[in-house]
Structures are given as structure tokens and as C-alpha cells.
Amino acid sequence: MEIAVFNKTGQDTGRKVNLDSNIFEVEPNDHAIYLDVKQFLANQRQGTAKSKQRNEVSGSTKKIHRQKGTGGARHGSRKAPVFVGGGRIFGPQPRDYGFKLNKKVKRLARVSALSYKAKENGLTVIENFEMEKPGTKAFNTIIKGLSLNMKRALFVIPELNKNLYLSARNLPKAKVLPATELNTYEILKAQQLVVFEGALPVIEKTLTKS
């Protein structure tokens, strides 16, 4: 697949690049995408929700009334779950929500997501550029030049660049991500994937590993 290369002002440079058909033209696997996104979101959960059981509630352990002769049920402690202020039955406990997912499934999910973007014209390739210093206003001008001001855009760069990252940090619909950290969730979340020309070899190298 050939795709045009634009510059940062949104003008066509007249050049085209070939996209690897094994990455950008595969038959998408929706179930692999579902599993990868599910794992990504599960890994974001802190898992720190915690309620107190009856052995953790503070209070007296004195028997509240005698065993027999009251006409009521037997009770041994105010900390029992049936009383207000008592412990909670089967309440949440700290846990890890993550789960194992095979590398080949994760690769298939990312490749499927990229193929969806390429098929739906949600992929733009631009020339590499640098920013001498962080500038949100300057980065916003680039977004407008690419006609992305109304879209949620993900800029995929060859490697971590502090100036680019800081320039986009305060823009609600723009995000900068190194090619090595590209994941299925971020690809699908973005309405437009803006890939730096230099990031394409990194993506291909990462996703063609056995």
C-alpha cells in the first residue's frame, strides 16, 4: 500500500511511502483487539478497593446479650455484618486485575487496529520535524495545518522527544507517543493516526518480530 507524505503544514510533499502489507493490510481480528484492550484497561486499575471484615472492625467483642431467653436470635458481637457498623460480607479486597495475554495475540491486535486505520483513511504520514523548544501554540498550529483541530489525534514519533511531548500535553485532543509504546487502545481511541515518516521502520521492526 502506498500513502502520500505530508509536511507539518499539511501540504503534500509529492512523495509516497510503501506501508508493509503484513501490518497495514491484514484481515482484522476483532476478538484479538477485544482481549488486548481489555488487558490494557485492566492493567490501569489500581485494585486498591478495600472494605473491613468483621475481624477488622474496631469495637468490643463482648457478647451483646445472653444466649437464651431473649426471644430473639443469638448474637455474639456488634461487629457482625448484620449490625450497622459491623463488618462487610464478601467486600472488595486489594487485587491485581491483570491477566496474561500471549505476545502473538497482542501483535495481531495491534496489526488489526493499524489495518482498520489504514482502511478507513484514518492514517496520515508526515515528514519528521523537530521543535527547538516546547510550544503548545506552535503545535496547535501544526494540528490546524493538518486539519485535525476537530479530531482526536495520536502522533507517533520515532523515539521519545521531550519537546514534542510537552507541546502536546495540554491539548485535550492530541497525544504524542513513541512508536515502541504504540498499543491497540491508543490506536483505536484516536480518530486520526499521524505517523512520522521515521516511525514507520520502528513500527515494522517491532511488529515483525517473531
Q: How confident is the model at residue 16 (pLDDT cuts 50, 70, 90)?
A: very high
- Beta strands at 192-196 and 12-18: parallel, antiparallel or unpaired: unpaired
Architecture of domain 2-46+97-207: 3-Layer(aba) Sandwich (3.40)
Domain residue ranges in the chain: 2-46+97-207, 51-91
Q: What is the mean pLDDT of residues 81-103?
A: 94
Each residue of 147-169: pLDDT tens digit? Answer: 987 889 999 999 999 999 999 99
Looking at residue 210, its pLDDT comes to: 45
Quick check: 142 pLDDT over 70?
A: yes
Each residue of 161-192: pLDDT tens digit? Answer: 999 999 999 999 999 999 999 999 999 999 99
Q: What is the mean pLDDT of residues 86-97?
A: 94
Looking at residue 95, its pLDDT comes to: 95
Quick check: 10 pLDDT over 90?
A: no
For 21, 57, 183, the CA distances from 210, given in Å and listed in that order, are 17, 53, 17
Q: Looking at the DSSP assignment, which residues form a beta bridge with residue 193?
A: 123, 154
> Residue type for 18, please?
N
* Contact indicator for 203, 23 with CB cutoff of 8 Å: yes
